[in-house]
Chain A
């Protein structure tokens, strides 16, 4: 199992939290902390999972609860697997999804 690396970019109107590696029960705490830090910034929080190699139900749970708590202040740039799982869980239509190329 590989580790999770977190890279946070503080922009003018958004904070992008980029995750690399595996997002599961073992690494969920670090991801949660990074998102909490990003929230303190008071802008749009964007979670970028494009470099994620594995995500389990704990990781999907983090996306669900963060989206629920932040509402319009949360967006996700998903990797293909996460996108498919979110569709399967009926969550896609409730999330603000970005493809990583657009500016808003």
Chain B
């Protein structure tokens, strides 16, 4: 590069420009026609060139327009000024150098013509927009990242992995997120524009797992909650920090340039670390970038924290929910069940339950119930009711005794809630089942006889858990193959439609017209699809249905046994 041109017109221009532009915050250069030699460049222009001239050949660059199309050599502002005499005014160009360094410059060019009108050179003015555009990009990026993090659901690890892909290549060439676990540090995401390099990073991670006591890097940041900025990653630095020779070579090969490790911190707790590494793009991180990384880390930590709280609640609810229904129904020769249970879509644990269990060698019992309220307290009452039903029926399976025991158990529990229960005790007979029904404040079940006659079974009794003295009446029925008994909770009849509720009349009609041929599964399915079809708002309450029938095989097996 020639600092000032020799003689002639171009030299004169250089001298005048040199005096005027030495301190300008804009790059000014003069290029001679023909040789395209830079005959003058002010300090700003020299700094811009030095910044981009990271590679061996500073002139092997490519320029791109905003629409992504590349500049052909003759399309650059300088060439247009030199060859066509065109005056180019502040064209914004994204420049990428062979080393991968990127930047944004605004270039202006103006031809220099001698007295005869021949173009002898050009003046080039340049303004480095890299930082401005980067700041704008960062703002846009933060908005996007916040949106992503705000949508974090139960699977927050997946959101974090997506976040690493959002970071690359805008904030970094490499991005990794590591989380603190009970046993150490776990990587949840690595991103690089080149998938092969992501594989390499995974391999490195697997072969050299982070030492939680390491004085630098991710473990240190997670331990202390303080960010680390490595402005310049040099070979000496790699040698000083990394002991393993193979690892040193690999790291050198990656061409790492600058790095930030920021904590994922929220509410005084560090949950993990965010690592940003600059390599190919040649970006050198500053304190400003650390602030951006810390902000991002904070937002990520908040969303992890929320997701974990939600996850814990979800898990608790799921376990409680599972306590509402038996994990498996008893296998009783010749008896079949059709069951359905679904909680209202409120996310809270429901209060409806059903159960079926053996009470003796041949006898068994079924129950369905509705506990007042929802949530953990209701679930506690459900568990108490189910366990008392089962326990009491082992000693004395008659409905009057069993329901009285449940009433007593709830009253003395201090839960201050009540429930309604249907309890049915079943004893196999020669050609069917002897069924004894007790109602604790619950709607009487329906018995559909094989001939199509519909009966309501049981006599009204007092609900459980409210009054010390209750009235329970026992009623017995004999059911044969083809008869189906249906028990349900009020979520079925209370299902709201367009103008009215499903109601008991519609339920009776549905059962009468079910064509279930004595199959309790088909009966339950018919009822559930009827309320699904009727309901305008989905299930607004918990719904439980239990159908029960004696199969024809029961007769055979009973006779065979007799």
- Same complex origin of A and B: yes
Measured CB to CB, the nearest residue on chain A to B420 is A89
A96 part of interface (Cβ distance < 8 Å): no
For A94, the chain B residues whose CB sits under 8 A away are 466-467
1/0 per position for B424-462, CB-CB distance to A under 8 A? 000000000000000011111000000000000000111
A56 part of interface (Cβ distance < 8 Å): yes
Given A1-B496, A88-B441, A90-B470, A61–B373 Cβ distance below 8 Å?
yes
Given A25-B540, A57-B372, A57-B420, A90–B471 Cβ distance below 8 Å?
yes
A36 part of interface (Cβ distance < 8 Å): no
1/0 per position for A16-60, CB-CB distance to B under 8 A? 000000001100000000000000000000000000001011100
1/0 per position for B354-392, CB-CB distance to A under 8 A? 000000000000000010110000000000000000000
For B496, the chain A residues whose CB sits under 8 A away are 1
Dominant SS among interface residues on chain A: helix
Query: Nearest Cβ distance between residue A19 and chain B, in whole angstroms?
Result: 17
A/B pair count, beta carbons within 8 Å: 52
1/0 per position for A62-74, CB-CB distance to B under 8 A? 0011001000000
Query: Nearest Cβ distance between residue A76 and chain B, in whole angstroms?
Result: 15
Is B466 a contact of A68 with CB atoms below 8 Å? yes
For A88, the chain B residues whose CB sits under 8 A away are 441, 443-444, 460
For A57, the chain B residues whose CB sits under 8 A away are 370, 372, 420, 490, 494
A91 to B441, CA, bound (A): 8
Number of interface residues of A (CB under 8 A): 18
Measured CB to CB, the nearest residue on chain A to B536 is A1
Is A54 a contact of B501 with CB atoms below 8 Å? yes
Query: Nearest Cβ distance between residue B464 and chain A, in whole angstroms?
Result: 9
A99 part of interface (Cβ distance < 8 Å): no
Interface centre among A56, A57, A87, A89, by most chain B C-beta atoms within 10 angstroms, is A57
Interface range on chain B (Cβ under 8 Å from partner): 20 to 34
Measured CB to CB, the nearest residue on chain B to A61 is B372
B280 part of interface (Cβ distance < 8 Å): no
Q: Which of A25, A54, A56, A89 contacts B463 (CB 8 A)?
A: A89
Given A1-B496, A56-B490, A91–B443 Cβ distance below 8 Å?
no
Measured CB to CB, the nearest residue on chain A to B444 is A88
Measured CB to CB, the nearest residue on chain B to A68 is B466
Instruction: Kindly identify, within residues 108 to 123 of chain B, every residue whose CB is under 8 Å from any CB belonging to chain A.
Output: none
For B418, the chain A residues whose CB sits under 8 A away are 61, 64
Measured CB to CB, the nearest residue on chain A to B344 is A25
Query: Nearest Cβ distance between residue A45 and chain B, in whole angstroms?
Result: 18
A99 to B370, CA, bound (A): 29
Is B541 a contact of A56 with CB atoms below 8 Å? yes
Measured CB to CB, the nearest residue on chain A to B494 is A56
A91 to B465, CA, bound (A): 12
Is B460 a contact of A87 with CB atoms below 8 Å? yes
A99 to B443, CA, bound (A): 24
12 sample A-B contacts, Cβ–Cβ < 8 Å, listed by A number: A1-B496, A25-B540, A57-B490, A64-B418, A88-B443, A89-B420, A89-B441, A89-B442, A90-B440, A90-B470, A91-B462, A94-B466
